[in-house]
Structure 1
């Protein structure tokens, strides 16, 4: 049975890790309270992607934190990850579900209201509302949706939702208060001088925001 918590969803980017190993940053983030981790690799070999996935899977296992693979269905299958995250131009959901099986987590990025409407026809496990704000960590995105975009999409979506793009400690509470189930961050943890403390502080903001809703 699938069990996951979107509250604090870390998406990795090795180029932002300040020279530290990906494994060490993810370990610290797990210690600090992240609830999901997505491995995103755009510039490495298939072998290196697989090796990184296996390292992170072992790192996260004691914390029971799901490892989600970005885009690469083959890597998700090879390392038996807990799930896969796909975008609008990635492999179709129905193919991913057929190959991964019903017990794996599949997330889908939605970039506009129509994407969310279309996603209602799919049995995805969550949607990533992207991008909420402009972000330098991903340049091939649609126009920023803003908080109003989150409100509109959450209102019509039947899926749990996580906000993605330009999120940090200054605006995390706004994302939750707009209706998202969680926040997805990259640099707010990957580039933090203390990833464990950064994760802890973000999780504290999220928990307080959910209480106040």
Structure 2
């Protein structure tokens, strides 16, 4: 599956201000999101499974890519398009063995060295961050606020798509794209917005403008 990585939503119901994750995803889809990743830290595996099934239907109907954070088993169970892995998750090759050659397998990295290792292991794309300060994810000090400069270094070092993540908004997304990212991933910028659909549209427009796309 070929994925357009421009605008990438990572779900987290605890930041949705009382709205359901399904409602946030519906609004993001209406606003033009390209990728939805089921995250939901703090939810049980069963809860993520049932939510994943619902989001899989929403995204399939809209032709939006759907990935699962961390859990290869849940990605397989809900027929997601793939999985996004961190340092403590299964290795890329093991995820590929479970999900098959057609699955999208992403990997979080914060340095050029880690990026090269992930690509050598077979990652299809990289999430690079935290670009800016964020409280949406626990980040080790050395991986916090790595800046567009590190995004640019990673972009120069690898030949797979990269997505900037961490503290990204419509205001600073152009800097991340201009540094070499193919897209930006956000949690709060959409999930906590007063109007998630409008926020998605604004972010997508910022990305398109920075790319020089119509």
For residues 144-196 of structure 1, the C-alpha deviation after alignment (integer angstroms, 9 at most, x for no partner) is 21011111111001211000100001101111111100000110000011111
Q: CA deviation at 1:12?
A: 0.6
Partner of 1:62: 61
Question: How far does residue 198 in structure 1 lie from its aligned partner after superposition?
Answer: 0.5
Aligned counterparts, 1:1-213, within 5 A: 2-141=1-140, 142-211=143-212
SS in 2 for 1:121: helix
Q: Which runs of 5+ in 1 are unaligned?
A: none
CA distance in 1, matches of 2:76, 2:118: 23
TM-superposed CA distance for 1:102, in Å, is 0.5
Deviation at 1:143, TM superposition (A): 2.6
Q: CA deviation at 1:67?
A: 1.0
Displacement over 4 Å in runs of 4+ = none
State the alpha-carbon separation in 2 of the partners of residues 143 and 8 from structure 1. Answer: 21
Q: CA deviation at 1:44?
A: 1.6
User: Number of residues paired by the alignment?
Assistant: 211
In the aligned structure 2, how far is the partner of 1:188 from the partner of 1:68? 19
TM-score by length of 2: 0.96
Superposed CA RMSD in Å reads 1.1
